[in-house]
Amino acid sequence: MSIFDLSGRVAVITGGNGGIGLGIAQALNAAGCNVSIWGRNAEKNKVAAATMAAGPGKVDTRICDVSSAASVQAAMKATLDTFGRVDGCFANAGIGGGGRRAFIDRTEEEWRTMFATNLDGVFHVFQAAARHMTERAEAGDRFGRLVATSSLASLFGTARNEHYAGTKAAINALVRALGVELARHGVTANAILPGWIKSDMTAGIMGNEKFVANVMPRIPVRRLGEPSDFGGIAVYLMSNASSYHTTDCFVIDGGYTAF
């Protein structure tokens, strides 16, 4: 059991059926938190829920397309009908760089798709969660946690994935603004920025001998992070101990940094 007891808390995790999102879901569940996983793939949702079947917290799954406001609203209503409340929202769903072509060669469709999936999804989910949390605050229940997984690309840029970096930088700005706006309701807002993480996405890269030999030594990481690393931060951010941490970005690149 975590030193932070989250028994009775309820967390929504978008894209929580694999990789980093699943690591967050498992860590919260192990700390006693009830978890609602929102994802577009029913089978992956089912498999993710099965990994937490023996945990102390209850697990619920919902089919949800976060780029659709109507889909998010339906998922939120269903989650509230099941658990009665939502205490934390971890927005993890999104898409990556989507190719290596130059900015001047991008199409408008590519631009809008990237923003719709990455930025609109956070907007819809956070707005639904914040409305619920502020309504509870007005009734005397002042507790809420909004957390977005962003990207180090939002801080340092990324060659030929500039539209991806743009969406992630916008998420960071949104988080900081929400931290200011929602503080009076007892709701915090934070971002977690992954660096080099062991996952199916990095497995192919790490299998490239030239990359490992020539590029990896130049990347300042002590080790490759694990999806479970995010879980540790997620449990902390859902606890009462984190009430003064708002609008921070927690960076994982083999270690932890808050600024």
| Mean pLDDT value across the chain | 87
Nearest-angstrom CA–CA distance, 254 and 251: 9
Extract the tokens encoding 55.
């945990």
For residue 99, name the pLDDT band (cuts at 50, 70, 90): low
pTM for the predicted model, two decimal places = 0.90
- If you average pLDDT over residues 68-91, what whole number do you get? 97
pLDDT, residue 223, reads 64
Q: What's the half-sphere exposure (Cβ side, CA atoms, 13 Å) at 40?
A: 11
Give me the torsion for CA of 37, 256, 182, 94, rounded to 10°.
Answer: -40
Q: What's the half-sphere exposure (Cβ side, CA atoms, 13 Å) at 77?
A: 6
Residue pair 30/2 in contact by the 8 Å Cβ criterion = yes
| Residues designated catalytic | 164
**Which run of H or of E encompasses 258?**
strand 256-258
Nearest-angstrom CA–CA distance, 52 and 235: 15
- If you average pLDDT over residues 174-201, what whole number do you get? 88
For residue 57, name the pLDDT band (cuts at 50, 70, 90): very high
Q: Which residue in the block uniquely carries the two structure tokens 């200011």? A: 180
Extract the tokens encoding 62.
């919902």
The model's pLDDT over 35-45, given as tens digits with 9 standing for 90+, comes to 999 999 999 99
Can you tell me whether residue 50 is helix, strand or coil? Answer: helix
For residue 259, name the pLDDT band (cuts at 50, 70, 90): very low
